Amino acid sequence: MTSPRAFAGWVAAAAAAVAAPTLVAFNLPPSSTFLNQAASLVGWGAWTMLLALAVPRFLPALAGADRGAHALLAALLLVGASALASPAWSGLPWTLALSAAGMLAAAGLVASAALAVQRQGRGEAAFAAFCLALLAAGLAGTLIGLVQVYLPEWADGGWVAASTLAGRAVGNLRQPNHLSSLLLWAMVAALWLAESGRLPRRWLPVLLLVLLAGVVLTASRTGIVGALLLGLWGLVDRRLSRAARLQLWLVPLACALLYAMFAAIAHHQQASFAAEARLHGGGDISSSRFGIWSNTLALIAAHPWAGVGFGEFNFAWSLAPFPGRPTAFFDHTHNLPLQLAVELGLPLAALVMALLLYALWRAWRLAGEGTASDVSARRAALAMVVMISLHSLLEYPLWYAYFLLPAVFAFGLALGAPAQPQAASAGARSGVLLAGATALMIGGAASVADYRRVAVIFTPPPGAAPLAQRIAEGQRSWFFGHHADYAAATTAAHPSEAMEAFVRAPHYLLDTRITIAWARALAERGDVDRARHLAARLREFRNPLSAEFFAECDPSPAQGGALPFQCEAPQRRYDHTDFR
């Protein structure tokens, strides 16, 4: 058994790993969530190190893991290998490939740690610490959401991030869907803590209502579907107590009542309730997802076997002709199976998805075996995995460390083989886990220092070096050099003088500014037809920021003369492979 003192240490480390990253409000351009993700890497490194100290032997525990666990780790390995191969295969910049591979390696480490502690019979104690941290994060997220909706003047960016979506709770993660998923996880955590006796059962109804109120304030349709999924859990899981099942059944009804309450408050204040406005606002209910999925299927049909390359969806999609495309600059398909299929190709994507589905099936089977307390923890962990899997069919939460690492930890606990403690001396600790945890902590901290090399380009402190010098220093960044390239390309008086910047910057996100700069650079170099192709693709986005660029295409008769390159159609057909 874990001593109370050791358990207190686990709770503290779990809070640092799970809760702290979701509460970081301060951030620096160019990424609004980078510091949250860096905090997650450091926190999970500390948490994994503590888990390693609780596991006498790591390798035997992993060797005896369930087949589903091996499937999960194999899927992570395959995707990580694809990320490392992408620079040679598809031209993905090494800065992006290393970031993705490092994140997947961290996921494999965390999943392995979960498998190990479960194998050693300490999974339930670890899960309790994890759930307490999730509950704390959820309650804090709800409070932050209430401030953002009802006291927005308090959201100064120091402790509470300002919401860019009026009337919607976004938390300090700055996305309503992300906050809703965090709160749904916290609801699962609260239910299990009450069922396991670690939380007074009389607290559960209040906690569930508070967290559900936060979900409603996000006005997230994904969150509402997740709430319905909780009701379904209450229907199918007969091992839960009658009180817990009843409360889960009532979640959809409570969601409707909270919706009505918040709508009434808004009407009384003569204000708009965001969830009501979204429900009755008409327009595209999919928020352009149907359009992006249609375009993705067309890309898959064009590149079925090897895909467009890991991390290259935005690059390939932006450079392919789609006259009716969604006008937002999508950097992801918003659907995990489609993302794998378009980037890895159908054969490899099918293999990865088969491994993940097999792991999910094995977790379902294991959730029906073992002791009552072990099964209860496994089922709660599996519920968390299913919840984030649902979110991954409509968004891409697993591309963020603060969702990926908790998800694989829960998955690992659900897949861990039944406890079989190994005979070992107290000093025979897991060197593999400890080394990996140390590397994760150092890597997370080092990424912050590396990020500062590009952040100073966009938010220079007093007395900062000239812009050109800051850009040159930022371009030497290991993980974020593409941001410095973006600055170089979009600030150059003559973009053709910064052609090296276009090797990396367009692979991160092809938005209006970088596309215009790239088209002008190509035209200045005499590569006019490819410049026309870029202009034609930009025109499809119908972005107001490109109005000035295309204004030259409507000259008065008195002007006469040849039209600029952006006003003419390309003479041949191109795709993304012509721009690597």
Which value, to the nearest 10 degrees, does the dihedral of the CA atoms of residues 424, 428, 133, 161 take?
Answer: -160
pLDDT tens for residues 28-85?
Answer: 999 989 999 999 999 999 999 888 877 655 544 455 678 999 999 999 999 999 999 9
Residue 504 to residue 325: CA distance in whole angstroms: 24
Least confident of 66-75, 157-166, 456-465: 157-166
pLDDT tens for residues 401-440?
Answer: 999 999 999 999 999 877 665 544 434 456 778 889 999 9
CB 134 within 8 A of CB 18: yes
Least confident of 108-122, 123-137, 363-377: 363-377
Residue 314 to residue 332: CA distance in whole angstroms: 7
pLDDT tens for residues 222-263?
Answer: 999 999 999 999 998 888 999 999 999 999 999 999 999 988
Region 174-193 average pLDDT: 96
- Between CA 150 and CA 161, with CA 156 as vertex, the angle to 5 degrees is 75
**461 Cβ contact list (under 8 Å, min separation 6):** none
pLDDT given at position 65 = 74
Banded pLDDT at 218 (limits 50, 70, 90): very high
pLDDT given at position 59 = 47
pLDDT tens for residues 325-381?
Answer: 998 899 999 999 999 999 999 999 999 999 999 999 999 999 887 666 778 999 999
- Between CA 440 and CA 379, with CA 123 as vertex, the angle to 5 degrees is 110
Least confident of 62-71, 378-387, 518-527: 62-71
What does the block give as tokens for 71? Answer: 């499937």
Banded pLDDT at 563 (limits 50, 70, 90): confident
What does the block give as tokens for 168? Answer: 């919607």
What does the block give as tokens for 316? Answer: 């390939």
Q: What is the mean pLDDT of the chain?
A: 90
Burial 335-355 (b: 16+ CB within 10 A, else e): bbbbbbbbbbbbebbeebbeb
Kindly provide the residue ranges of all beta strands, DSSP E only, lying in 484-552, ordered along the sequence: none
CB 91 within 8 A of CB 579: no
Residue 535 has pLDDT above 80, yes or no: yes
pLDDT given at position 526 = 95
CB 385 within 8 A of CB 404: no
What does the block give as tokens for 198? Answer: 């670690």
pLDDT tens for residues 21-30?
Answer: 999 999 999 9
Residue 220 to residue 47: CA distance in whole angstroms: 31
The long-range contacts involving 495-499, CB below 8 angstroms and separated by at least 24 positions, are 495/520, 495/521, 495/524, 496/520, 496/521, 496/522, 496/524, 496/525, 499/525
Phi, psi of 326 (to 5 degrees): -60, 145
Residue 233 to residue 235: CA distance in whole angstroms: 5
pLDDT given at position 399 = 96
Does the global pTM surpass 0.75?
yes
Region 282-288 average pLDDT: 62
* 547 vs 63, higher pLDDT: 547
Going by C-alpha positions, the residue among 49, 63, 46, 45 that lies closest to residue 106 is 45
Banded pLDDT at 320 (limits 50, 70, 90): very high
Instruction: Please give the share of the chain, as a percent, with pLDDT higher than 90.
Output: 74
Q: Using CB atoms within 10 Å of the CB of residue 281, give its burial: 0 to 12 exposed, 13 to 18 middle, 19+ buried.
A: exposed
